[in-house]
Each structure stands twice: as structure tokens, then as C-alpha cells.
Amino acid sequence: CDDVQQLCYNPRAKAVVLAAMDAVGMEAQ
């Protein structure tokens, strides 16, 4: 895990971040 170590130990937080990034990607298109 290069980005943020907390995300490595917190699957829920990682899922939230991925969902947020996905939402941003959807808005970009």
C-alpha cells in the first residue's frame, strides 16, 4: 500500500475512497 497506510488496514475506508474516485470519474465524463 503506497498511498495511505490506513487504507491498507481499513477495507471500509478504502471502499469509500474508491467509490468517491469512481464518482469523480463519472462526473468528468
Query: Is the torsion defined by CA of 20, 24, 25, 29 positive or negative?
Result: positive
What does the angle CA 7 – CA 18 – CA 5 come to, to the nearest 5 degrees?
A: 15
pTM: 0.51
pLDDT at 10: 77
Q: Which residues of the chain have pLDDT under 70?
A: 1-8
Domain locations in the chain as residue ranges: 1-29
d(CA 7, CA 14) in angstroms, rounded, equals 5
